[in-house]
């Protein structure tokens, strides 16, 4: 069974553990809440940092107060799991 | 110059004049300064004739036409009768400077537009103007990653809807002195999302952008900004697939059971915005040859369940 994990608001240490560990084998999505409060947040830079760490994860800005946006995280995660399954990973 | 017209009217008129005049490509361009114009076209309406006369005073002999709401052109010096195609062609061809050889289009030896845009995006430097049928529409700032609507395009409420269907007629041009000062007049738009949305609106039955072909396998190099993707479930699935495995459009459509046209539109968007790069090999194995073993592929059923939940709420 593919191990799956959703990281929402994880601590810095948690994120680092995920990235430096088996992140490449995980179906994961990184959700960033409250981006609306930080419009200058560099989403592309966040994605680039993840890439450099060897984990090309989807970085999803979302508003945790809206169910549809939280479900979007699951939607992305499902697409990751589906792909792993289709490719036999 | 078309005084008082919206961008759709301008583009439609420029296309029409190009066709009627049988003019060489690139010989017709819209200018917004009266002293730069060889031909004035003014939106017909109250005061147009007196205003047009004022504009015409500075250039004796310069043609002045009126265009009504139906797109009909007339010469106020000869009354309201619409100009026929022969009369329009005669004026346009008389405006062309005498040339021994037909002019060579400025971009004849250039890469396809999509490739030019990708290179400029990757270079992150310089600026350029994007013109549609000779109408300057956007000022692109590759260093800042922004685009600003120019002139009448500032009133356009759907720029991707304007640019997408006319993508093959778009031209990247140097910034003129007059356009260089336009940056303060319009709000900056994020360039990459604008290109992504433009690619999705190219045509009803999308074809892959040159130099991509049906045998081109595309690989995503990074997840796009999710504000670009909006909430399109199939685009999530394509991103997930193409990040892990290069694929042709047909193979991806078959594997994910998505309409091939939608996949081609996604390929165009991912390529144009620089989020994906072509690989000319197809690496996808047929499903029957996938390795045996425990695996979980939720597939469309689970995906549709998630989608239904989103649509109906918790």
Is there a contact between B244 and A85 if contact means CB atoms under 8 Å apart? no
The pTM for the full model equals: 0.75
Cα(A67)–Cα(B5) distance, rounded to whole angstroms? 44
8 Å CB contact between B148 and B183: yes
In this prediction, residue B289 has a pLDDT band, given cuts at 50, 70 and 90, of very low
Chain B closest CA to A13's CA: distance in Å?
A: 23
Residue B276 forms beta bridges with which residues? B220
Residue A8 has pLDDT above 60, yes or no: no
8 Å CB contact between B268 and B303: no
Which chain B residues are Cβ-neighbours of A78 within 8 angstroms? Answer: 298, 302-303, 306
Close Cβ partners of B63 (under 8 Å, ≥ 6 residues apart): B38, B39, B40, B75, B91, B95
Average pLDDT estimate for B61-89? 86
Which chain B residues are Cβ-neighbours of A51 within 8 angstroms? Answer: 222
Q: Is B71 helix (H, G, I), strand (E, B) or coil?
A: coil
pLDDT at B282: 46
Cα(A80)–Cα(B237) distance, rounded to whole angstroms? 7
Residue B234 has pLDDT above 80, yes or no: yes
Average pLDDT estimate for A50-60? 78
Cα(B141)–Cα(B205) distance, rounded to whole angstroms? 30
In this prediction, residue B313 has a pLDDT band, given cuts at 50, 70 and 90, of very low
CA triple B277-B209-B149, angle to 5 deg: 95
Is there a contact between A85 and B298 if contact means CB atoms under 8 Å apart? yes
Interface of B with A in 213-252 (CB under 8 A): 222-223, 225-227, 231, 233, 236-237, 239-241, 243-245
Q: In this structure, what DSSP letter does residue B286 have?
A: P
pLDDT at B2: 64
Which chain A residues are Cβ-neighbours of B222 within 8 angstroms? Answer: 47-48, 51, 56
Residue B117 has pLDDT above 50, yes or no: yes
Residue B298 has pLDDT above 50, yes or no: no
Residue B169 has pLDDT above 70, yes or no: yes
Is there a contact between A82 and B255 if contact means CB atoms under 8 Å apart? no
Measured CA distances, B38 to A13, A70, B2, B103 (Å): 67, 58, 12, 18
Average pLDDT estimate for B237-261? 93
Give which of B31, B36, B25, B46 is closest to B1, Cα–Cα.
Answer: B31
* Residues across chain A: 89
Residue A35 has pLDDT above 90, yes or no: no
Q: What is the ipTM of this complex?
A: 0.70
């Amino acid at each position: 069974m593919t191990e799956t994990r959703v990281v929402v608001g994880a601590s810095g240490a948690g994120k680092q553990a995920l990235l430096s560990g088996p992140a490449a084998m995980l179906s994961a999505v990184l959700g960033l809440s409250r981006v609306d409060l930080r419009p200058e947040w560099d989403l592309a830079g966040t994605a680039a940092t993840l890439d450099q760490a060897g984990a090309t994860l989807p970085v999803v800005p979302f508003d945790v107060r809206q169910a549809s946006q939280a479900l979007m995280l699951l939607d992305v995660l499902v697409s990751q799991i589906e792909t792993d399954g289709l490719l036999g990973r | 110059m078309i005084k008082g017209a919206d961008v759709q009217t301008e583009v439609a008129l420029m296309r029409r004049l190009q066709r009627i005049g049988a003019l060489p490509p690139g010989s017709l361009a819209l200018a917004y300064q009266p002293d730069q114009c060889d031909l004035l076209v003014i939106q017909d309406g109250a005061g147009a004739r007196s205003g047009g006369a004022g504009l015409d005073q500075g250039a004796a002999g310069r043609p002045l036409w009126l265009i009504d709401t139906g797109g009909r052109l007339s010469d106020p010096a000869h009354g309201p009768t619409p100009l026929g195609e022969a009369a329009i062609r005669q004026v346009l061809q008389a405006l062309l400077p005498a040339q021994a050889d037909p002019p060579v289009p400025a971009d004849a030896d250039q890469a396809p537009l999509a490739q030019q845009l990708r290179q400029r995006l990757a270079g992150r430097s310089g600026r350029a103007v994007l013109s549609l049928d000779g109408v300057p529409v956007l000022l692109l700032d590759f260093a800042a990653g922004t685009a600003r609507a120019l002139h009448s395009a500032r009133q356009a409420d759907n720029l991707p809807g304007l640019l997408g269907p006319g993508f093959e007629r778009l031209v990247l041009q140097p910034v003129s002195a007059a356009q260089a000062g336009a940056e303060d007049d319009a709000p900056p738009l994020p360039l990459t999302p604008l290109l992504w949305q433009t690619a999705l609106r190219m045509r009803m039955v999308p074809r892959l952008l040159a130099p991509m072909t049906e045998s081109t396998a595309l690989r995503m190099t990074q997840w796009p900004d999710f504000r670009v993707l909006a909430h399109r479930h199939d685009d999530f699935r394509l991103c997930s697939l193409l990040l892990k495995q290069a694929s042709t459009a047909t193979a991806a459509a078959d594997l994910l059971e998505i309409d091939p046209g939608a996949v081609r539109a996604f390929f165009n968007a991912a390529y144009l915005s620089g989020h994906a790069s072509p690989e000319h090999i197809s690496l996808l194995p047929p499903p029957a040859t996938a390795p045996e073993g425990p695996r979980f592929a939720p597939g469309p059923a689970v995906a549709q369940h998630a989608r239904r939940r989103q649509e109906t709420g918790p």
